[in-house]
Structure 1
């Protein structure tokens, strides 16, 4: 019998149509990627490739839009769209935190298995301490989902599927994080709707959420330093000269003379 070597490269079969694989074993510098991602039916190729790249990076590597656009030719618009795809399908979470200084920071969490809506929000420890101060809590994803699912009560044409709600929830969360009340978000999404039937309500809402997004609130001004008031004027009990002190008594010169006399 011919000895088999499972780790040896397999030969590509000739005379067949379609892809042919030549598989070699990786002993180091490799990343395990599930077929649920590599063969995802709803993700774009850009999103799939970006997810694989992010999963291969060491913890703490910057994966913001500008950082990624500086490494790849797709540009900021396509990369931003791919990140939103991964977030909508549970492969990425980008929770935002408002620090006591008023600055809003974004944490990026990558999942090699997609999260579901029932999973708790990620809370990994930060890679480095944040000197700006403790982060204040921001609206969770359920508040954004409530806004979206409630739109059909205001206009039955805005009936959304669960998948549409999951996809649009990050955009609504961005509004809530910028201090916009939920009722104001609903008004922005439902005011001035066309009178004709709405064929694609999710696309219409996605456009409004992006085009009408208000700017962030300005950072809170630093606290004013305490006002130091001077001591009140007192009249010296020895020479009747005015001097400043917290309590009545003798001025400095009289106190010095009394000390010398003693």
Structure 2
């Protein structure tokens, strides 16, 4: 495991990238309503990142390799049973009652800021509202474990226990990750418990990583669709996700992607 401890200069640039990512979610909120397409949301976010922020949307063409096309859009839009990495589409129209995750990653001066938020589209059923709220609580409880000397496994443990106490399940195939100049760096941040010493490590000041639990209403299993990106719940029941980029500070944590409408726990 090659965990990169960030310098003061690195951290200042990550604060900028994190703030920009948060601002995209703030900007797009008024547009999220029944009748809009996820393709339109992608276009608005792309234009804002490129033209207003003078930044780069990290998902666009991510993973491109010889013989393999990269991710085709600038944001991820995951609706209802889509766990993560949903591809925006002009034909995918938001409906009253949908729950939607918009995942934003921007690159500014070579550094990444990564965050996502759940949106309630119109009138959402109370059960799905509770799924969204508990998932947010899971993320915050994970964030509250972050401090020098704590372990990565402390994060997964508290997230899993809160999800299970509310009769939800935790996705295991997808996880948080280190972030900085690289979109995905070490370590992997698992959101469940019981993985022993595999990938576990002691947190140190200067580490930066995402915490982004994906919580399912039904069973934990997921399935990858034929597009090679979109992950859905196997039982087709809804899923929710929230994400922040976190810095380990001398005495705790700093949320680098905190939005203006939020207060750190």
TM-score, normalised with respect to structure 2: 0.28
Question: Which structure would you say has the larger Rg?
Answer: 1
- Bigger RCO of structures 1 and 2 (CA < 8 A, at least 6 apart): 2
